Amino acid sequence: MPDTDRPQITLITPPAFDLAVFPDQLAAVMDGLDIACVRLSLASVDADFIARAADACRVIAHARDVAIVIENHVKLVEPHGLDGVHLTDGARQVRSLRKDLGADAIIGAYCAGSRHDGMAAAEAGADYVAFGPAGPSPLGRAEPVEYDIVEWWSQVIETPCITEGALTAELIARFGPVTDFFGIGPEIWGAVDAAGALKDLLKGL
């Protein structure tokens, strides 16, 4: 990290957005705060839309010297000049994708609350692992990731970790000392001022 032990921010896009509007929102957030990485996280199965979204967000991220990764759509990484891929199925594909994408590509793996999956992903060559959700959520895992897992990871494993999912200012203050990154997106995009909402979330750091 550049100056302090303050966790860096991975900015996660909404699962759906208006290409005529969202790029400006993304740019406003990135101009208001230091962002380490953008993650394109789309629910769409429209290949043309995903490709156009990837291009639009890449232009904004790279203009600010920020890396951009895409969830799962590995085949879009190289054609659209993205920096890597975020895998939502843990360690399963990490080793093979490292061979396919090369040493310079960013490969991250979401490992829910599993220490075992996180270690497997790190050993397979992941650049980071993500744990979550940090707070109660009706989506994904039924229960939040245990604080002790993230704390243990920060003390024992060199591979950086991201803490994400259902974050609040209180949870960010709690996990701040033991995580390398926070993955933030759904928590802010519903606000009129997304950059202001992100600043409020981070006020306890």
Burial annotation 166-198 (CB, 10 A radius, 16+ → b, else e): bbeeebbebbbebbbbbbbbbbbbeeeebbebb
| pTM: predicted TM-score of the whole model, two decimal places | 0.95
Radius of gyration of the chain, Cα coordinates, nearest whole angstrom: 16
Q: Per-residue confidence at 186, pLDDT binned at 50, 70, 90?
A: very high
Number of domains in the chain: 1
Does 1 reside within a domain?
A: no
- Residue 2 belongs to some domain of the structure: no
Going by DSSP bridges, is the β-strand pair 181-184/8-12 parallel, antiparallel, or unpaired? parallel
Which pLDDT tens digit goes with each residue over 42-75? Answer: 999 999 999 999 999 999 999 999 999 999 999 9
Look up the domain containing 65 and give its range.
8-204
Q: Would residue 3 count as lying in a domain?
A: no
The reply to whether 125 falls in a domain is yes
CATH of the domain at 125: 3.20.20.70
User: Taking all residues of the chain, what is their mean pLDDT, rounded to a whole number?
Assistant: 95
- Give a yes or no: residue 62 inside a domain: yes
Instruction: Output the pLDDT for position 142.
Output: 62
Domain contains 164: yes
Residue 9's φ and ψ, nearest 5 degrees, are: -115, 125
Q: State residue 140's pLDDT score.
A: 63
> Does the residue 173 lie in any domain?
yes
34 in any annotated domain: yes
SS3 state of residue 159? coil
